[in-house]
Structure 1
């Protein structure tokens, strides 16, 4: 087997999360007072790179930030967790991506995302990062950056013999050629229903995973929050080779922000180290459960000794 420079390379977004607590959301034309503004590092790409590194992966990130204070903050946070940043480009004159989040008293949130530099990531950036992407055991992709960049990264990874993991978030239609490279495609139940179309929301997660596997990906993982995950392995032209349910440890949730990114990062790490998708998912549900026990996204991501014990029978 070819020696790889990186366990996990993430091609994705880097955002500053700007969070304000409010007693109630303003009506149109109304102003309300909120809490002090809190700024946290975020973005699905950065989150997954940090979560993987914190679990012990050799992780790198391909993406774009702006030449502003948020960009400097985010680069520093990524470097502090040991993420490789040689292919994290700075876009002059363009702001770093920002998520503006208001959180109500019941913990629900409303989010407006300004992609900023993330929207400038293109196939030329990916081509310049070819050495890093081709040197990865697993390349993790999401859809908070333009689809052409995602497709270009998947092709480079596949041509180099790496494994392509696509977290279809936020949900969007993607070409069959991209789905065919996914091993696995990672979706939650809503994203699975989006791909499967009308009527899918009534489906059991195992049925959705099997149906998605028959649609082209080499394997599929459907995440189910506190109920764990379902893995459909061995997919291809003849369909899936069966589904496996993975139970999640029971924990007291504080904040679910970033739990899906912690799950995907742990899944990628274990796949990079040779686990099958079901075995990788057994660690991933523990990482996702650990992340809900603390507030925030990157601030909640666990180290190996912070993972909860596996669920009974898991």
Structure 2
């Protein structure tokens, strides 16, 4: 059986509002539209299964309309949710304000999705080769301690993938060192990676981050339409991106990560996996909503059209 993509982070409900601009403090703005989607970790998992991977959500999910939406969305695409339902609390929301430029602003609650334990995470039962995804946002309380306890109990042949997020820079050095010691694959955007590695540009940042990870670890640094760089097995490769006019950037990075990991789970070389992930991110920004990741066939067609 091929390795699975297992995500430990928060699957939330994204409440997406299209606004002409952000309101001033204390002001008001009228939204052109509103919609509810399963978001957060769900975006990565959906992208992964649409590229042919088996996927599992190891995080918590609550009892209520938000939890129902997350479960229905994931189950509809064959993604398993083995952890028990949190009966006394619903899943939280992320309010996403999307401007005409496609820039997005988030406001997030913390509810049932933060109620994890080492035992609930272990219901995903990772085995050798499985790709276990960790979000920097899970390194905040109350998910930090149970997550780290569980990660430190995993066998060495389970692959830990860290998506640091902007919050990683705010963590204390000892916590970051503890997490990095567990990390087999870093996949972050340019700003996050440049901040941590201390080098500017995708390629140099990938090399600098890899130098801080454990021996043999891989660093992937993505930069939107410019593509991404990957440092693996002592070699840095810059993989060109595919510029598109964006309508919604919410979920583009997560889509990139989901496809990247799906391709690795299927045995693709890192540069090939990056190329398909770049294409997936380019397709995603032309579509609205965090659940609009392309299928493998759509990525095939997109790349065929670009030679």
- Shorter-chain TM-score tier: 0.7 to 0.9
SS at 2:184's partner residue?
strand
Q: Cα deviation per residue 1:212-268 (whole Å; 9 max; x = unaligned)?
A: 11112411000011011001112xxxxxx1311011234343222211111111111
Unaligned regions of 5+ residues in structure 2, if any?
none
C-alpha contact (below 8 Å) 2:89/2:112 kept by paired residues = yes
SS at 2:6's partner residue?
strand
Structure 1 CA distance, aligned partners of 2:118 and 2:195? 26
SS at 1:209's partner residue?
helix
Matches within 5 A, 1:165-314: 165-172=161-168, 173=171, 174-196=175-197, 200=199, 203-217=200-214, 218-234=217-233, 241-298=234-291, 300-307=292-299, 308-309=302-303
Answering whether residue 59 of structure 2 is matched by residue 63 of structure 1, we say: yes
Answering whether residue 53 of structure 2 is matched by residue 52 of structure 1, we say: no
Matches within 5 A, 1:101-112: 101-112=96-107
1:106 Cα offset (Å)? 4.0
- Stretch deviating more after TM superposition (261-270 or 167-176): 167-176
Check 1:140–1:244 CA distance in 2 against 1; reply closer, same or farther (3 A cut). Answer: same
Counterpart position of 1:155: 152
Among candidates 137, 142, 151, match of residue 144 of structure 1: 137
SS at 2:188's partner residue?
strand
Check 1:251–1:24 CA distance in 2 against 1; reply closer, same or farther (3 A cut). Answer: closer
Structure 2 CA distance, aligned partners of 1:278 and 1:250? 18
Q: TM-score, normalised by structure 2?
A: 0.86
Higher relative contact order (CA 8 A, sep 6+): 2
Q: Cα deviation per residue 1:86-114 (whole Å; 9 max; x = unaligned)?
A: 23x32222231210122334443322111
1:12 Cα offset (Å)? 1.4
1:211 Cα offset (Å)? 0.9
How much is the aligned-residue C-alpha RMSD, in angstroms?
A: 2.4
Structure 2 CA distance, aligned partners of 1:66 and 1:292? 29
Structure 2 CA distance, aligned partners of 1:170 and 1:120? 22
Structure 2 CA distance, aligned partners of 1:27 and 1:266? 37
Structure 2 CA distance, aligned partners of 1:231 and 1:254? 27
Unaligned regions of 5+ residues in structure 1, if any?
235-240
